[in-house]
Amino acid sequence: MRRKKWIVTKGNKDLAAQVAQELSIDPFAALLVTSRGFENTDEIADFFDPDAPLCLSPLSIADMGKAADRINRAIDDFEMICVFGDYDADGVTATALLYSYLETRGANVIRYIPDRLTEGYGLNIGAIEHLCEMGVKLIVTVDNGVSAIDEAVRAKELGIDLIITDHHKVGDVLPDAVAVVDPHREDCPSSFKEMSGVGVAFKLACALEGDDGDILIEEYGDLVALGTIGDVVTLTGENRVMVRRGLRLINECPRPGINALMEIAGVGEKIFSASTAAFTVCPRINAAGRMGSANKALDLLLSDDDVAAEQIAQVINEMNSERQQTETSIFSSAAAMINSETGIINDKIIVVDGEGWHQGVIGIVAARITERYGRPCIVISREGDTARGSCRSIEGFSIYDAIEAVSDCLDHFGGHTLAAGLGLKSSRIEEFRHRINEYAADKPMPFALQKIDCRLLPTSISLDMLSAISLLEPFGSGNPQPCFGLFGVKIEETASVSEGKHMRMVVSKNGARTGVVFFGMPERRFPYEKGDTVDLAVNLDRNVYNGETRVSVIIRGIKPSQTDDEKVLRSIELYDKFSRHENLTAEEAEAILPDRQLQVEVFKAIKAKPLKDKECEVLCVRLGDDGGNLAKINAVIDIMLEMGILEETLEDTVYVPENPPKVNLEESEIMKRLRSFL
């Protein structure tokens, strides 16, 4: 797993104390919110206000008035309207919301969500022609359409009016439509740009109703909350207000479909939070579109019958189980490909492809690879001559800009800064891989960030702290769950749990001990052991078991305490540069070239204790190094792997084989290439 850059933010203690006193807010909660950039009491008061009003006027979004006028005319004339949605949680909730609203207005309305596997994303000409045959006179898209240039032309040829509501990035040309409602239009005067597709659809309903949103949010806030959380847009500003109101609605009176999903996910008795939505309900809504038909999820959200909803929820839950199995299989194949092909693992942008990989899950796989390797990733599924890809990135690197720069390789693309989708010919995948990495070659590739809200001591962790943290909810993009740093703690105990899937530990500092859990970290990859001193990035959660409430400490990041962050990151960047076969200066080559003594020390250390997960920073600590020689240590290991003195398991454990060959390391191709720069 690629190292992250740890950043400890600093709260404004004076402002926090002032806010805590003036607003009667828990001092710890006030300190946390100041660490997130809030600079005055008015902003903080709005942030904490559970009854904050919606502030964004629907008509402040470009073309919203045109869209509302045309739809109202269609309602009055009983023209057939089609709400054309998308197959993810955002698109499904947006479709359910606008369709439901138009039904209450007595509109002649139908809904249509394209099939992910046979039609792909967004408007398509085949669907438009089918809707024309059905007598549709007006298509209103939700969560798609802003890039549908050719489709808009075909709709016009067929005499169908088109209204587009979307939230994705806008290209140089807008579709020829009655209205294009997208906050990302350059000429859009809206003060808030980061709404989800369902958020834009909600604002359209408000414009149709002549409402500022405070009335309709009580009817549709649950759908807005789920779609907004599911699409991972920022939970700040207007989104925060809408989601908070929607979560309250779900907790007070969930619609049958949402309640059925909560029950089958095992969270029916718990307080429904943004995290609950993100990790239980939204994945199941997405699973319907990924593994079968998104119309199942749409039917569920529109259902007003508890029994019918329960039956549909059961089917969707089975789809979600199938999705998990498929995702695991593809991820394993992709990871094996990355680790076995030097060119891929060293690329700035990882591009992997496979024949017949399920297109419904490649986005999740791309996200997992990005998290594991700390670099942007594009996972491509080939189906004969055609291929579709899903892209994920890290903060500070726009994957949208990258694919736009090489779009002549593609048939189509679209998306956001951190996530995008694309289509291309299978024969052009290698060209695309080369070109997009060529684009990234002169761009700085930032490290993924591990943000720490503040430092904690084990003795300070308490239930009162959980109550303070809860005041900052809902958590999500732009307002993440607070992450705390337990620095310089000693590992006292380790244990593998859940058949080796997770690690549980006890850590201590200054005599105080606390239990922590590391989900998703199998023991076979865990490079630390009892007695090591580490820094932990942790979340604090509430754990209720047998009626007793405790604080659960969950690890989100771990690193050795003894290494120097700047030296470690600088060494990683340098060795990555060398691994990509870029030219080095003589000084850079010297910083990588290992001497004989270091070679011997590395060999002895690994012979005494195999190196799990190829975690060279841990080896630095074993050798008494602060990270300054990390590039050299990486080089030693790769040289010895090349020459057969070391071997590596599929789980990336580096070890000395039983009878290592006697070789001259100076004959290594890696060593020769390093010396060529001197």
What is the per-residue DSSP string for 103-172?
HHTT-EEEEE---TTTT-SS--HHHHHHHHHHTEEEEEEES--TT-HHHHHHHHHTT-EEEEE--SPP-S
Kindly state the average pLDDT of the residues 399-409: 95
Q: Which helix (H) or strand (E) holds 431?
A: helix 429-440
Pairing of strands 377-383, 386-392: antiparallel
State residue 2's pLDDT score. 77
- How many C-beta atoms lie closer than 10 Å to residue 600's C-beta? 11
Kindly state the average pLDDT of the residues 180-202: 96
Give the domain ranges of the chain.
54-215, 341-440, 453-560, 565-675
- Local confidence band at 10 (pLDDT 50, 70, 90 cut-offs): confident
Domain 341-440 falls in which CATH fold?
Answer: Diaminopimelate Epimerase; Chain A, domain 1 (3.10.310)
Please, how many CA atoms are within 13 Å of residue 206, restricted to the half-sphere of its CB? 27
Kindly state the average pLDDT of the residues 478-499: 95
Pairing of strands 377-383, 350-355: parallel
Q: Provide the β-strand partners of residue 506.
A: 493, 515
Tell me the two tokens of residue 5: 């850059």
Could you give the CA distance from residue 323 to residue 358 in angstroms, rounded to a whole number? Answer: 9
Q: How far is CA 43 from CA 30, 39, 117, 119, 236, in A?
A: 12, 7, 45, 45, 11
Quick check: 1 pLDDT over 70? no
What's the chain's Rg over C-alpha atoms? 27
Kindly state the average pLDDT of the residues 307-317: 96
The model's pLDDT over 163-174, given as tens digits with 9 standing for 90+, comes to 999 999 898 899
The model's pLDDT over 39-92, given as tens digits with 9 standing for 90+, comes to 889 889 999 998 899 999 999 999 999 999 999 999 999 999 999 999 999 999
The model's pLDDT over 642-654, given as tens digits with 9 standing for 90+, comes to 999 999 998 889 9
Backbone angles phi and psi of 364, in degrees to 5: -65, -40
The model's pLDDT over 544-587, given as tens digits with 9 standing for 90+, comes to 777 788 899 999 999 999 999 999 999 999 999 999 999 999 99
Long-range CB contacts for residues 491-497, cutoff 8 Å, separation at least 24? 491/528, 491/529, 491/530, 491/531, 491/532, 491/533, 491/534, 492/530, 493/530, 494/523, 494/526, 494/528, 494/529, 494/530, 496/522, 496/523
User: What's the chain's average pLDDT?
Assistant: 94
Could you give the CA distance from residue 484 to residue 516 in angstroms, rounded to a whole number? Answer: 13
Quick check: 415 pLDDT over 90? no
Could you give the CA distance from residue 19 to residue 50 in angstroms, rounded to a whole number? Answer: 16
Tell me the two tokens of residue 97: 């919301």
Helices then strands, each counted (H, E), the chain? 26, 20
Quick check: 512 pLDDT over 80? yes
Domain 453-560 falls in which CATH fold?
Answer: OB fold (Dihydrolipoamide Acetyltransferase, E2P) (2.40.50)
State residue 301's pLDDT score. 97
CB 506 within 8 A of CB 513: yes
3-state helix, strand, coil in the chain (%, to 5): 45, 20, 35
Could you give the CA distance from residue 656 to residue 659 in angstroms, rounded to a whole number? Answer: 8
The model's pLDDT over 530-549, given as tens digits with 9 standing for 90+, comes to 999 999 999 999 887 777 88
Quick check: 153 pLDDT over 90? yes
The model's pLDDT over 238-276, given as tens digits with 9 standing for 90+, comes to 999 999 999 999 999 999 999 999 999 999 888 899 999
Residue for token pair 């593609």: 410
Q: Is 231 exposed, middle or buried (0-12, 13-18, 19+ CB in 10 A)?
A: buried
Could you give the CA distance from residue 26 to residue 36 in angstroms, rounded to a whole number? Answer: 16
Tell me the two tokens of residue 53: 């009003």
- What percent of the chain clears pLDDT 90, i.e. is strictly above it? 86
- Second CATH level (architecture) for the domain 54-215: Alpha-Beta Complex (3.90)
Residue for token pair 């709400």: 83
Which range, of 288-292, 318-322, 374-378, 471-475, averages the lowest pLDDT? 288-292
Quick check: 216 pLDDT over 90? yes
- Local confidence band at 304 (pLDDT 50, 70, 90 cut-offs): very high
**Among 616, 170, 114, CA closest to 359:** 114
State residue 341's pLDDT score. 72
Kindly state the average pLDDT of the residues 394-415: 93
State residue 542's pLDDT score. 87
CB 144 within 8 A of CB 84: yes
- Local confidence band at 416 (pLDDT 50, 70, 90 cut-offs): confident
Could you give the CA distance from residue 95 to residue 87 in angstroms, rounded to a whole number? Answer: 10
Could you give the CA distance from residue 428 to residue 442 in angstroms, rounded to a whole number? Answer: 23
- What percent of the chain clears pLDDT 70, i.e. is strictly above it? 100
Residues 6+ apart with CB under 8 A from 213: 54, 56, 58, 202, 203, 206, 242
- Local confidence band at 305 (pLDDT 50, 70, 90 cut-offs): very high
* Cα four-point dihedral sign 484, 487, 492, 493: positive
